[in-house]
Amino acid sequence: MGTGKPPEARMKHTTQPLPADVDPCDVVGHGHRTLQLDEARELILANVAPVDGHETLPLRDALGRVLCTAVRSTVDVPAHINSAMDGYALAGADLPAEGERAFEVLGTSWAGRPFEGAVAAGQCARIMTGATLPAGTDTVVMQEHVRIEDGRAVIAGGHRPGQNRREAGEDIRAGEVAVEAGTLLRPAQLGLIASVGVGRVDVRRRARVAIFSTGDELRGVGETLGPGQIYDSNRYSLYGMVARLGLEVVDLGVVRDTPEATLAAFEEAAARADAIVTSGGVSVGEADFVVETLERFGRVGFWKVAMKPGKPIAFGHVRDALFFGLPGNPVSAMVTFYQLVQPALQALSGAVPRDPPLLLDATCQTKLKKKAGRLEFQRGILERGPDGRYLVRGMGHQGAGVLRSMAEANCFIVLPLEQETVQPGADVQVQPFAGLI
């Protein structure tokens, strides 16, 4: 909020005419209403279209990218019926119902080097995991259950015909889709695509996200701080959050608290990126120019959400770019990013929406101060208690500026709108950072 900028700076600006080449103000509603988080998230997602453009990449380079064209298999995986164990392959009909039976061992079927002969009644073949079942066999007895006597394999009763074999195509059948379009390619998908023999994939281009911090008090790391100045930390956490999503970051630095500098940054960001994420300047202080600039030169979707931390957050468009104006407080910036911006950037990347972040029930071990009226994301440490139940404790200092609470926590404690102060022993819901952050 007010960082000492004279009020005239703002008033002078509001009397200036619109530059000829910028969009007129188009407030698309909600600007003056406080939205619930779900409502805000839906509104945002309704306004996001995936980026155009795709490219074909070697499989490894596609890690973290979103598949644009489904990968369909032309082969069965596995290609042949094969053994799930090291052991002996034989015909299930030949297994003794009780007592023991000795089998002649004809040879060995290795993975990648099948046994060529056929196995008849009273015979078996040694077989390795992954090796093709020889002709005449349909069953594998694991080697731990076989005794070798005079070169013959002695097998007792109790085995089931057909056991320990993997069916051809049990993972993927020829003609089936191995990985759907819109899937984020993670390690398992890379492996799955390789398992069907495909080495290049069609992925969406990486979305470009411009970030900048606003604030006259901000200095860059390595600079010396003057009175009242602080280091710009948000641009680092923002960089991390955006880069972790696999998106390209366009870092526009620190923008001073003037309407002119703010507008210039908006223009450059919109020209260079598909989405813009800023921090600071979204309140109604005399040095807060982000919402005003968005109202005048962009389009505002909304800028108030009933959540804590992070009540003022601006969403809209600047030209064709999505715009997210996050609060300046470092924890607020991170919480609003994870709750509102991350799903939008995933949609922008072309990813089909995934399940919402996991919510777990836990017993709260500490008192958590809370007033009714806002959905709150407190930071906590989650662990499993001796009886297997989850236990959570709040980080001592829940201030919106205390970034250590984010760095040291491993979950959000999600306290619903009407919840009041939580007493130790009460049940709460938590959102683990694992998978979210």
Shortest Cβ 341–ligand AMP spacing (Å)? 15
State the nearest-atom distance from the C-beta of 345 to ligand AMP, in Å.
19
Nearest CA to 312 among 296, 287, 332?
A: 332
Which residue, 280 or 432, is less far from Mg ion as judged by CB?
280
Taking the least distance from each CB to Mg ion, the nearer of 281 and 343 is 281
Smallest gap from Cβ 281 to ligand AMP, in A, equals 5
**Residue 329 interacts with ligand AMP (CB under 6 A): yes or no:** yes
DSSP string over 229-260: -EE--HHHHHHHHHHHTTPEEEEEEEE-SSHH
Compose the 58-97 pattern: x for residues touching ligand AMP by CB under 6 A, - for all others. Answer: ----------------------------------------
Told to check if 218 binds ligand AMP by CB under 6 A, we report yes
> Is residue 234 classed exposed, middle or buried when 0-12, 13-18 and 19+ CB atoms within 10 A define those classes?
buried
Binding string, residues 263-292; x marks residues near ligand AMP by CB under 6 A: ----------------xxxxx-x-------
Maximum separation of any 2 CA atoms in the chain, in Å: 102
Phi-psi label, residue 375: left if phi above 0, alpha if psi -120 to 50, beta otherwise: beta
Between 233 and 365, CB nearer to ligand AMP? 233
Element containing residue 265 per DSSP (H, E): helix 259-272
**Residue 218 site contact among Mg ion, ligand AMP, none (CB < 5 to 8 Å, cut-off depends on kind):** ligand AMP
Residue 213 touches ligand AMP, criterion: CB under 6 A: yes
For position 230 contacting ligand AMP by CB under 6 A, the verdict is yes
Give the range of 171-179, 187-195, 200-208, 279-287 binding Mg ion by CB under 5 A.
279-287
Cα–Cα distances in Å, from 30 out to 39, 279, 295? 11, 21, 12
Closest distance of CB 287 from Mg ion, Å: 6
Residue where the block lists tokens 């009644």: 121
The reply to whether 330 sits near ligand AMP by the rule CB under 6 A is yes
Residue nearer to ligand AMP on the CB measure, 206 or 311: 311
With binding defined as CB under 6 A, does residue 336 bind ligand AMP? Answer: no
215 binds Mg ion (CB under 5 A): yes
Among 114, 246, 327, 343, which residue sits at the site for ligand AMP (rule: CB under 6 A)? 327
User: Toward Mg ion, which CB reaches closer, 1 or 417?
Assistant: 1
Number of Cβ atoms within 10 Å of the Cβ of 7: 10
Phi/psi of residue 241, each to 5°? -70, -40
Crossing angle, helix 259-272 and helix 7-14, to 10 degrees? 60
**Considering beta carbons, is residue 231 or 433 the nearer one to ligand AMP?**
231
As measured in angstroms, the least distance from the Cβ of 230 to ligand AMP is 6
* Residue in the block written with tokens 């053994």: 83
Out of Mg ion, ligand AMP, none, what residue 89 binds, judged by CB under 5 to 8 A for its kind, is none
Task: Answer whether 81's CB lies under 8 Å from 136's CB.
Answer: no
For 59, phi then psi, to 5°, come to: -50, -50
Using CB under 6 A, which of 129, 143, 229, 233 touches ligand AMP?
Answer: 233
Placement of tokens 């970051």 in the chain: 249
Bridge partners, residue 154, by sequence: 102, 147
DSSP annotation string for 187-227:
HHHHHHHHHTT--EEEEEPPPEEEEEEE-TTEE-TTSPP-T
Report in angstroms how near the CB of residue 336 gets to ligand AMP at its nearest: 11
Instruction: Spell out the alpha helix ranges (H) of 274-418.
Output: 290-297, 330-336, 342-348, 404-408
> Which of 328, 343, 394, 432 lies at the binding interface for ligand AMP (CB under 6 A)?
328
Q: Name the strands in the sheet holding 139-142, side by side, starting at the edge strand that comes first in the sequence.
A: 139-142, 87-90, 123-127, 100-109, 152-156, 146-149
CB of 287 to ligand AMP, least distance (A): 7
CA distance 158 to 150: 23
Minimum distance from residue 225 beta carbon to Mg ion (Å) = 16
Binding flag, residue 217, ligand AMP (CB under 6 A): yes
Binding site residues, ligand AMP, CB under 6 A: 1, 213, 215, 217-218, 230, 232-235, 279-283, 285, 327-330
| Interface residue list for Mg ion (CB under 5 A) | 215, 280-281, 328
